[in-house]
Amino acid sequence: MRAAPTILHLDMDAFYASVEQASKPSLRGKAVIVGGLGPRGVVATASYEARRFGVHSAMPMGQARRLCPNGAYLIPRFTLYRQVSDIVMAMLRELSPLVEPLSLDEAFVDLEAGGVAFDSDSARATGERLRADIRAATGLSGSVGLAGSKMLAKVASEEAKPAGLLLIEPGTERELLAPMSVRTLPGVGPATGEHLRRAGITTVGELAEAGEDELVRMVGRAHGAGLYRMALGLDDRPVVAERDAKSVSVEDTFDVDLHDRVRIRGEVQRLADRCVQRLRGSGHSGRTIVLKVRRYDFSTLTRSETLRGPTDDPAVVREAAARLLEAVDTTGGVRLLGVGVTGLADYTQEDLFAQSSAAEAEAEAEAEAEAAEHEDDGAGGAGGAAEPEATVGGAGPSEGQERSAEPQEAPERRWTAGSDVRHVLYGPGWVQGSGVGRVTVRFEQPGSEPGRVRTFRVDDPDLAPSDPLPLVGDLS
């Protein structure tokens, strides 16, 4: 614990939903829900207007629609969220070299290490200035907590929401924490909270009064001792500038359970390729391949295989995931699949035993092709090159070739609610909805007045997908 509140915690307010409201003027002040739009989608973020209806993060999208039927339901636009996050994180790094990002919209900052705050007054002034700078650069609001420890700074930012700042003066921690719910403390989830409630402990003050020995008896030594320290406001964890990723993974939830084993294998291969793309993008390789399968009855199975050395070879990851799938019973259907890589390293080990059989097969095929080429050369020397087989009725293509050459009907273009588009005549806009061969677009952009709505055929050649516009600045 520090003697001055120089640890700052920033948490952007309803980040995804706020970005959508800032970029879509017609949604300002309205209920916005961002997440998967399919029948098994989950809410990623809900605006404060939607939260009044009981909608919250991690809620099934179907339940959210029942609670808030008139809300705007949008797909996430992670490209834009990352762009905005980069702006915010750059501002934090101007304050201090010690910035610990927790997610796209949340981070700890050690203000003392940056020389910008040494006491309560300078810490408060820095926090207020940061909030104003974020608003000017992005048009968004963030909540700031300031305290002598990371735990208390996070509690303070949560209490300051939305768009506020709370500073916890050293020495007042226990008084502030005492009336709060035990769920306020990090690591106290629904299960632990319910266990404590049955024991008559619902507030942080009651947790502190219970004593360390009683808490150890109730929830175990490691968790009990940690809970007691947090209840007293004690937390000595430093702000760590680099938080190394422990794993890289991707997963998909399917609208309809998958039963076809061939389809399941294909999805696993596709997920393996996406996982490797993300792995390489982070500059890592990994040693342990993990397969996650959630079955029709919501039971979840996890299988893993550890290689001799770290790899970022997509063929190796695909094959390991396929082997893991063979050991999983998918009878009855699969609702979710995931592929991950753990045991990360920043190098790859070219281990002969870890090479894929696909690579071996490719080399074998090349050898066979080379041998065939030599055979052809020999035949040509003896009697000349073989004549191509003639087609009946002349030198034209065969009937089957004619059929394959016929133009295929283009698949119908898909327009997902919330995605960015641009029209040749009307300019930038976003998709409000689509169906029965039509797509409805609202033409507006950040900083404009709410725009007009127009409807087009889904195959209108003047309408095309577009990149998102910046929230503030040049919108051309």
> Which positions are annotated as active-site residues?
106
Q: At CA 225, angle to CA 189 and CA 1, rounded to 5?
A: 95
Rg (CA), the chain: 29
CA distances to 293, 336, 380 from 303, in Å: 9, 14, 54
Neighbours of 212 (CB within 10 A): 17
Q: Is residue 178 packed enough to be buried (19+ CB in 10 Å), middle (13-18) or exposed (0-12)?
A: middle
Number of H helices, E strands in the chain: 15, 17
Q: Is the peptide bond before 314 cis (omega within 30 degrees of 0)?
A: no
CA distances to 31, 38, 50, 65, 435 from 70, in Å: 8, 17, 10, 8, 18
Site of tokens 């010690």? 98
Contacts of 361 (CB under 8 A, 6+ apart): none
The edge-to-edge listing of strands for the beta sheet with 452-457 is 452-457, 438-443, 427-435, 420-423, 463-465
Residue type, 74: L
The two structure tokens encoding residue 353: 């035993």
CB 215, CB 207: distance < 8 Å:
yes
Site of tokens 């009697």? 383
* Pairing of β 334-345 and β 463-465: unpaired
d(CA 323, CA 130): 51
Decide: helix, strand or coil at residue 402: helix
Give me the torsion for CA of 276, 277, 278, 279, rounded to 10°.
40
